[in-house]
Structure 1
Amino acid sequence: MRTKLARLFPAGWPWQRTLTCGGGALLVSWCVAVFHFLFFCNQVRENLRYFSGGYVPPFAQLFGRGLFCFWITALCVVLLPLFLYLWHWQGSKSIYLMRRLPRRSELWRRCLAGPAMLLVLTLLAAALSVLFCMMLYQALLPADCLPEDPWAGIGGILCWF
């Protein structure tokens, strides 16, 4: 497994550190999204407790900008291929070796495969955080106080910052 992961990045690149930092960024992003949602969910529950006939906003409005850290992580991952390409120009200039290889696509595979994997993991973690918060929305808020269409506007949630 380690050799397969190492082949996704340029030779000499600290790919273990890249994957560790990427995993840490995903964990932090997921925690920020969930705790952000729980904070606003708690405010709504407190309002329901003190005001009779309180209003529970739809999920998309309550979730708000919960995916902001995921967007920052995705932006960093999108910029990573530039650094991987520039890595080939450092030190022994392995760019010349990469250009002479029989498979011309090897340079671009090593520059794009690792970031593509990290980007897919970022999108997957963002989707899982939204699904988890949807389950929390159903579980934590009283069913009789939910709006008529609690999932209104959920399609635009990925566009929010």
Structure 2
Amino acid sequence: MKKINVKEKQILSFVPLGIDLQQELKWITILLAVSFLYSMTFLIYLSNAYHELFTYIAGKKVMIDGAIMQDFVELLGNSLSGFLITALSMAGLLGYHYLYHFQGSKSIYLMKRLPDRMELWKRCLGLPVLAAALSLCIAVLLLTVYFGIYLLVTPEVCLTPDQWRKIWDAYFEAVRRI
């Protein structure tokens, strides 16, 4: 019999009884890892844009007069979209958790009759909501880190003003389109 540690026992209270927690955690980890790897395309775009600021004269690297770095939001593009896709895919996991209660002896009716009426929803929503929140938190953290890298790498004379405002403008434009 497999021994269950305290953390795993706490997580098990957020999934339907009988679910293979390790398998679900593995798939969530894979989605987050692929999202992270895809987000690193920003670094490639940043590197390319940085090298466009310079030219070589007699084998020496020289900054082009009046060179302007592309805006951060242009370089970022959709590099963080994998985390949004991961968060949205958790809706499928939520549906799977709910439908799982209809299989075999895992009676949905029993779950609905439990003294704690929220138990069904806690078990259906728990892991998907936690994974979606983690995905979005990682995206915000990477946005901050990538913006810091952008500011550190870009020569000050090549920066256009109001980069932070442009991030917010892009965000509100995306929200407006939804």
- TM-score, normalised to structure 1's length? 0.90
Find runs of 4+ consecutive structure 1 residues off by over 3 angstroms. Answer: 157-160
Superposed displacement of residue 73, structure 1? 0.6
CA RMSD of aligned residues (A): 1.7
Which of 19, 23, 26 lines up with 2:25 in the alignment?
19
Identity %: 35
* Matched position secondary structure for 1:104: coil
Which of 72, 79, 87 lines up with 2:85 in the alignment?
72
Bigger fraction of residues in helix: 1
Instruction: Report how many residues are paired.
Output: 159
Structure 2 partner of 1:58: 71
Query: Contact conserved, 1:60 with 1:151, CA < 8 A, in 2?
Result: no
Structure 2 partner of 1:86: 99
Partner letter of residue 63 of structure 1?
L
Partner letter of residue 117 of structure 1?
L
Structure 1: distance between partners of 2:12 and 2:47: 44
Higher relative contact order (CA 8 A, sep 6+): 1
Query: Contact conserved, 1:99 with 1:107, CA < 8 A, in 2?
Result: yes
Runs of 5+ unmatched residues, structure 1:
none
Bigger fraction of residues in strand: 2
Rg (Cα) greater in structure: 2
Partner letter of residue 27 of structure 2?
C
* Matched position secondary structure for 1:119: helix
Partner letter of residue 69 of structure 1?
G
- TM-score, normalised to structure 2's length? 0.82
Query: Contact conserved, 2:87 with 2:133, CA < 8 A, in 1?
Result: no
Question: For residues 29-56 of structure 1, what are the alpha-carbon distances to aligned partners after superposition, in whole Å with 9 as ceiling and x for unaligned?
Answer: 12211x2111111111121013432221
